Structure 1
Amino acid sequence: MLPQVSPSQFDDWLAAHGTGPSRPVLLDVREPWEVAQAHVRGDGQADRFELRCIPMGEIPSRLQELDPDQPIACLCHHGARSMNVAVYLLNNGFENVANITGGIDAWSRERDAGVPRY
């Protein structure tokens, strides 16, 4: 079963998955123009997770850029694309994968009102 993590639960997810040898990854699977409009701001948390931006359509050809041993939380606009990517990762040998429910829109509402909504 694929874990669903709300933006308000992200710190708890990090605490549970950030104790290994490598930092967890927040994988933003939106298109570059979307990331330019609204993106996760580190706000001093850059040492707790690695932010990676790979559009959903490029995941299969760029899969080697991701480490199956790193915990990965997938993020998109509202949660559907990230859910698809998370399932794809699970089906391709990644074991520690979660979906950020509600996407960057929920991130803005629940976690960081400074992130623009679109």
Structure 2
Amino acid sequence: MIDHVRPAELSAWFATAPAGSRPLVLDVREPWELQTASVRAEGFDLVAIPMGELPTRLDELDPARPIACLCHHGARSLRVAAFLQHNGFEHLANISGGIDAWSHESDPGVPRY
């Protein structure tokens, strides 16, 4: 199942993760987008893998880890979460509203584009 989590709810979602597992935010935006706006990893690890590269880089991710997928508005990240689910990942969330909502709800210092 893919959970849909607003940025302001992300900490609560991470708290539901199995004990001892470090949560991960998987940013699937393109490199130019990362240069424009990025989140600070506080209480989670942050990995950036553009959506188009994910099939060849899937082995860089641990299927047992809770992973919340992030993009600009939430559409690409939802497709990535579905791809991960299809490949055996279980504890997944789509960050609804993406980095745009992150800027609005969690960190106004993150530029909007």
In structure 1, how many angstroms separate the alpha carbons of the residues matched to 2:61 and 2:40?
21
Matched, 1:6 2:6: yes
Runs ≥4 residues deviating over 4 A? none
Q: Aligned pair 1:83/2:82, yes or no?
A: no
Structure 1 unaligned blocks of 5 or more: none
- One-letter amino acid of the counterpart of residue 106, structure 1: A
Partner deviation per Cα, 1:46-94 (whole Å, 9 max, x = no partner): xx21100000000000000000000000000000000000000000000
**Normalised TM-score (structure 1):** 0.92
SS at match of 1:70: coil
Q: Report whether the alignment pairs 1:103 with 2:98.
A: yes
SS at match of 1:98: strand
Aligned pairs, number = 113
In structure 2, the partner of 1:23 is 22
Match of 1:55 in 2: 50
Q: What SS does the aligned partner of 1:95 have? A: coil
Task: Give the match for residue 34 of structure 1.
Answer: 33
* Contact 2:72–2:97 (CA under 8 A) maintained in structure 1: yes
In 1, distance between residues paired with 2:83 and 2:15?
24
Unaligned regions of 5+ residues in structure 2, if any?
none
SS of residue matched to 2:99:
helix
Report the Cα distance in structure 1 between the residues aligned to 2:15 and 2:62, rounded to whole angstroms. Answer: 19
Amino acid at match of 1:5: V
Give 3-state SS (helix, strand or coil) of 2:83's partner: helix
Query: Tell me, what secondary structure is at the counterpart of 2:35?
Result: helix
Q: Using the alignment, how far apart are the partners of 1:3 and 1:110 within structure 2?
A: 18
Cα contact 2:74–2:98 (8 A) shared by 1: yes
Aligned equivalents of 1:27 and 1:20: distance in 2? 20
Using the aligned pairs only, state the percent identity.
61
